Amino acid sequence: MRGRQLRRAAICLLAVVAAVPVTACASGREAAEWPAAAQDDGQPAAPDIDRRAAEKAALDAYSGYLAASRTASGRSDPRAPELSRFIADPLLTRVQLSIRDAKEHGAVRTGTLKSDPTVTAVSLDANPATVEIQDCLDLTGYRLVYAKDKRVVPGSGAGRHLSTATATRYPDGRWLINSGALHRDQPC
């Protein structure tokens, strides 16, 4: 009797001790260490393929977003249809408002921006699924100018800064960039 009780208590204790770190590690791995988690579960193939597909779709959406925004900003057209092909709200509205602001001041964006994005986290189990992207955006050649005389808008312009963005999977399967920020305080 006593032996069985002890054994039961020990099992319970073990379970509690084990459960806490396992839960913590599991959720930690989800975000930051997914390659290790993939190897751990003994079936690296299927989840790996899903993750790679998600990464690719997210990076495609990110580069599509930058290209669409460049086109729309070059024309100062907040309603450019390509924007909604790659961007979702709330970022979509923010980008549109920013383009409209420039348009109302007679300004357009010219030049090119250089991007070198990487994926920092993949959360396929989250609802909705998201992919976090980090980029060192080189904006030195991307200027805000007045349309009529091509004069650079005073106070505008940027260098190389860290940029972060989130790609989210929507019910129709599309991956779209729905939030993003340029960290001007973090040069890269």
Partner 1 sequence: MLTWAAEGAPARTPGVSAARRALAGIGLALLLVAGTTLPAAAARRAGPGASCPPDQPDCSVWDDEPGKPGGGGNNGGGDDEDEDDGGGGDGVCRWDGRTVPCYDDLKGWFNSADGCYYELAEPQNEAPEGQHWYVQTCNDGTDVGNVTVVLREAPPGFGAPPNPAELARRALATITLKRAPLAVAPRKDNGPGLVGLPVWMWSDDKDPGYFGPIPARASDRGVTVEITAKVSEIVWDMGNGDRVSCPDAGTPYDATDKNLAGRTSPTCGYHKGYQKAGKYDVTATTHWKVTWNGGGQSGEILVTRNSGVVQIQINELQVVTR
Residues making contact with partner 1 (CB under 8 A): 21, 23-33, 65-66, 69-70, 73, 78, 84, 88-102, 104-105, 113, 126-128, 130, 135, 137, 139, 142, 144, 153, 155-158, 161, 163-166, 168, 170-172, 174, 176, 178-184
In the complex with partner 1, the residue whose CB is nearer, 50 or 98, is 98
Question: In the complex, what is the shortest distance from the CB of residue 97 to partner 1, in angstroms, rounded to a whole number?
Answer: 6
Residue number with CB closer to partner 1 (48 or 67): 67
**Residue for token pair 């913590």:** 24
The CB-of-58 to partner 1 minimum distance in angstroms stands at 14
CB of 8 to partner 1, least distance (A): 29
In the complex, minimum distance from the CB of residue 90 to partner 1, in angstroms, rounded to a whole number: 5
Cβ-based nearer residue to partner 1, 48 or 143: 143
CB closer to partner 1 out of 6 and 21: 21
Which CB sits closer to partner 1, 60 or 101? Answer: 101
The answer for 179, left when phi > 0, alpha when psi is -120 to 50, beta otherwise, is beta
Task: Tell the smallest beta-carbon distance from residue 70 to partner 1 (Å).
Answer: 7
Q: How many CA atoms lie within 13 A of 11 on its CB side?
A: 6
